[in-house]
Amino acid sequence: MCGIVGYVGPQQALDVVIEGLRRLEYRGYDSAGVAVVAGGEINSRKKAGKLANLEADIASNPLERSSTGIGHTRWATHGAPNDVNAHPHLSEDGSIAVIHNGIIENFASLRDKLIGEGVSLRSQTDTEVVAHLLAKQVLVTPNLGDALREVCQSLTGAFTLVVVQKDNPDLVVAARRNSPLVVGRGQGENFLASDVSAFIAHTRNAIELGQDQVVEITPNSVKVTDFQGNPVDVVEYEVTWDAAAAEKGGYDLFMLKEIAEQPKAVADTLLGRIDLSGKVSLDDLALDKKFLKNIDKIIITACGTAYHSGLIAKYAIEHWTRIPVEVELASEFRYRDPILTPTSLVVAISQSGETMDTLMAMRYAREQGAKVLAICNTNGSTIPRESDAVIYTHAGPEIAVASTKAFLTQIVALYLFAMYLAQTRGTGFGEAASEIALELASMPNKIDLVLDTAQGVKKIAEEIHNANSILFLGRSVGFPVALEGALKLKELAYMHAEGFAAGELKHGPIALIEDGLPVFVIVPPVEDELHDKIVSNIQEVRARGAKTIVLAEEGDESINEFADHIMRLPKCPSLMQPLLATVPLQIFSCEMATVKGYDVDQPRNLAKSVTVE
């Protein structure tokens, strides 16, 4: 939430910052702003709305050339998304500019104190107080880094703060607590950003910043300390993907590109981790075998789409390992006094690795003595760094706000972990292991087949785009797929959609069925014991007037007479079907949003990487 960029070096800072903001716009798009340091002044410009508004404003009235700049794209928390509340926020004398991601929880008392001291605040944001506090602090400790360290000690909540000062043309200073910040180390230039995509076109060398740290960058130096000023050893790493991976690459939409990348994302997540005999190698998994053998309970915690991947994985983990699994929304988990012991394993799933609800849930679990395994797509992000172990998904950068390829790779990573656990504990599933390995290995090709045939959903979207509501039904692993289909539709097409366990219909939701109501049904493979039951469910809703859109495997003719539309899926075992059935639902929601004229990559009110609770 909120994208942040900082730059010092020989390039025109404004260009680097705007380019970085363009790559980070998926993090928030309520308003955007920049500040550059030039001629002993700070020049700032900010505009409500998307980055394009800011760019148009700057084009009509250019800012001065500068070697030092910061930029921000906002997802509003405190104060409406207007020009005044947009970042940067300046001190009263204009000597200091601040951008911020997060929430300063004690801002109200700080604001009241500042007002009492005669400071006039211009905005409704929590951020502005930091600019005024810093302006006061540099009078006491003139070094900007020292001043920021001091101010940070008076703040509570979550923040990444990035600061420039008018008399310091080659310095950008930043602080981090609970919100993301990475450093890009270049040659004679350095970068700061919420994530590496902002500077990947300039350098692949990145530095992770830890909790409660301050970084000072000049063109030729990067200095990291804790809030007390003690030097900190940093971890530098190389980003494995390049700028092209974060571009649309010929697609109209990031989401369509990311949907199309799913076969590769799944293949990359499997690569080198499983052989065709079913042997799983997770060599870098930092959980010792003794602990794995003693686990007596697994709790999966995550949000949104990542939570749905956990719901799917529960079926596989319990089936293959016989360890009980609970799946819990991260925002609920730590508020219910969960029972955790040293033999509990908490699995935290997060594409971004920064989701605050998930981060807080896993921290809580560790405090209670449980071990935490992260399933994550973002190298060096906070959740894997604070976990006992991590399995990275190799989906590549996911830019569209609606998660697609990360979801499929989360399921794959969790399945690999389940197999590894079964293997380690000797809950051998013998012959089955090699069958599962073969099936997993065939998934990239099968997803490709689904992509080839799923384009028909465009016609369905055109036909039903005026519906008031759409329902999704599934059973077993098809149930979380139904939840995911409904979530995608809500977030992209802004319409009521709900996923139900098909068996629950008769206990209430069937009352919703009326003439013409579109109902998607995910039908398990013919040999699944639930197949015939769900075919009955299709008949029940059809008899009450529903328009049925049925996802069923090739050759399943039993559904033909009850389906208004059929989407065919390649044959596979039930546990693998979510990797195929989800894909047409992703494309459908994308098409629905397009037909309705909505912004697919940046849906309203949302942001990628939700760094507030």
Looking at residues 490 to 549 of the shown chain, list those that interact with ligand F6R (rule: CB under 6 A): 491
Residue with tokens 């990067």: 222
Which among 98-106, 352-360, 411-419, 496-504 is the span making contact with ligand F6R, rule CB under 6 A?
352-360
Binding residue for ligand F6R, selected from 267, 610, 611, 612, defined by CB under 6 A:
610
- Pattern 306-325, ligand F6R, x by CB under 6 A: x-------------------
User: What would the two tokens of residue 519 be?
Assistant: 């109902």
| Distance between CA atoms of residues 31 and 85, nearest Å | 9
Residue with smaller CB distance to ligand F6R, 19 or 195: 195
Give residue number: closest CB to ligand F6R. Answer: 304
Asked if residue 165 binds ligand F6R (CB under 6 A), the reply is no
Query: Do residues 378 and 351 lie in contact, with contact meaning Cβ atoms separated by under 8 Å?
Result: yes
Which among 28-36, 115-123, 269-277, 298-306 is the span making contact with ligand F6R, rule CB under 6 A?
298-306
Cα 164 to chain centroid distance, Å, stands at 29
What residue spans of 43-154 are helical by DSSP H? 51-60, 107-116, 128-140, 144-152
| Distance between CA atoms of residues 443 and 7, nearest Å | 42
Give the 3-state secondary structure of residue 386. Answer: helix
Residue with smaller CB distance to ligand F6R, 266 or 517: 266
- Pattern 382-421, ligand F6R, x by CB under 6 A: --------------------xx------------------
Our CA angle for 480, 484, 489, nearest 5°, is 150
Which among 129-137, 224-232, 304-312, 494-502 is the span making contact with ligand F6R, rule CB under 6 A?
304-312
Residue with tokens 């404003």: 57
Binding residue for ligand F6R, selected from 262, 321, 355, 424, defined by CB under 6 A:
355
Which among 7-15, 297-305, 463-471, 582-590 is the span making contact with ligand F6R, rule CB under 6 A?
297-305
User: What would the two tokens of residue 165 be?
Assistant: 């000062």
In angstroms, give the least distance from the CB of 589 to ligand F6R.
9
In angstroms, give the least distance from the CB of 269 to ligand F6R.
15
Binding residue for ligand F6R, selected from 31, 66, 168, 358, defined by CB under 6 A:
358
| Start-to-end Cα distance in the chain | 11
Asked if residue 161 binds ligand F6R (CB under 6 A), the reply is no
| Distance between CA atoms of residues 375 and 353, nearest Å | 9
Binding residue for ligand F6R, selected from 43, 91, 350, 379, defined by CB under 6 A:
350
Query: Do residues 125 and 89 lie in contact, with contact meaning Cβ atoms separated by under 8 Å?
Result: yes
| Distance between CA atoms of residues 524 and 530, nearest Å | 7
User: What would the two tokens of residue 557 be?
Assistant: 């003719």
Asked if residue 609 binds ligand F6R (CB under 6 A), the reply is yes
In angstroms, give the least distance from the CB of 487 to ligand F6R.
6
One-character DSSP codes across 285-350: --S-HHHHHH--EEEEEE-HHHHHHHHHHHHHHHHHH---EEEEEHHHHTTS-----TTEEEEEEE
Binding residue for ligand F6R, selected from 269, 352, 424, 586, defined by CB under 6 A:
352
HEC profile for 549-589?
Answer: EEEEECCCHHHHHHCCEEEEECCCCHHHCHHHHHHHHHHHH
Would residue 2 show up in a list of annotated catalytic residues for this protein? yes
Q: Of 67, 98, 60, nearest to 189 (Cα)?
A: 67
In angstroms, give the least distance from the CB of 137 to ligand F6R.
34
Looking at residues 46 to 85 of the shown chain, list those that interact with ligand F6R (rule: CB under 6 A): none
* b/e sequence 118-150, b meaning 16+ C-beta within 10 Å: ebeeebebbbbbbbbbbbbbbeeeeebbbbbbb
Residue 79, Ramachandran bin (φ over 0: left; ψ between -120 and 50: alpha; else beta): left
Binding residue for ligand F6R, selected from 160, 197, 305, 476, defined by CB under 6 A:
305
In angstroms, give the least distance from the CB of 27 to ligand F6R.
11
Q: Which of 47, 166, 371, 608 is catalytic?
A: 608
Burial class (CB in 10 A: 0-12, 13-18, 19+), 247: middle
Binding residue for ligand F6R, selected from 303, 346, 461, 471, defined by CB under 6 A:
303
Residue with smaller CB distance to ligand F6R, 362 or 502: 362
In angstroms, give the least distance from the CB of 197 to ligand F6R.
14
Binding residue for ligand F6R, selected from 44, 351, 387, 548, defined by CB under 6 A:
351
Residue with smaller CB distance to ligand F6R, 86 or 522: 522
In angstroms, give the least distance from the CB of 136 to ligand F6R.
37
Which among 210-218, 278-286, 351-359, 584-592 is the span making contact with ligand F6R, rule CB under 6 A?
351-359
Query: Do residues 611 and 383 lie in contact, with contact meaning Cβ atoms separated by under 8 Å?
Result: no
Query: Do residues 298 and 477 lie in contact, with contact meaning Cβ atoms separated by under 8 Å?
Result: no
Asked if residue 304 binds ligand F6R (CB under 6 A), the reply is yes
Would residue 608 show up in a list of annotated catalytic residues for this protein? yes
Residue 264 sits at φ, ψ, to 5 deg, of -70, -40
State the number of binding residues for ligand F6R (CB under 6 A).
Answer: 15
Q: Of 179, 191, 211, 209, nearest to 77 (Cα)?
A: 179
In angstroms, give the least distance from the CB of 473 to ligand F6R.
20
Q: Which of 2, 303, 376, 572 is catalytic?
A: 2
In angstroms, give the least distance from the CB of 54 to ligand F6R.
25
Which among 141-149, 150-158, 350-358, 443-451 is the span making contact with ligand F6R, rule CB under 6 A?
350-358
User: What would the two tokens of residue 6 be?
Assistant: 């900082």
Q: Which H or E run contains 16?
A: helix 13-24
In angstroms, give the least distance from the CB of 73 to ligand F6R.
17
| Distance between CA atoms of residues 150 and 357, nearest Å | 28
Residue with smaller CB distance to ligand F6R, 352 or 537: 352
Which among 30-38, 61-69, 204-212, 346-354 is the span making contact with ligand F6R, rule CB under 6 A?
346-354
Asked if residue 348 binds ligand F6R (CB under 6 A), the reply is no
Residue 520 sits at φ, ψ, to 5 deg, of -85, 135
Interface with ligand F6R (CB under 6 A): 303-306, 350-352, 355, 358, 402-403, 487, 491, 609-610
Supply the residues annotated as catalytic: 2, 608
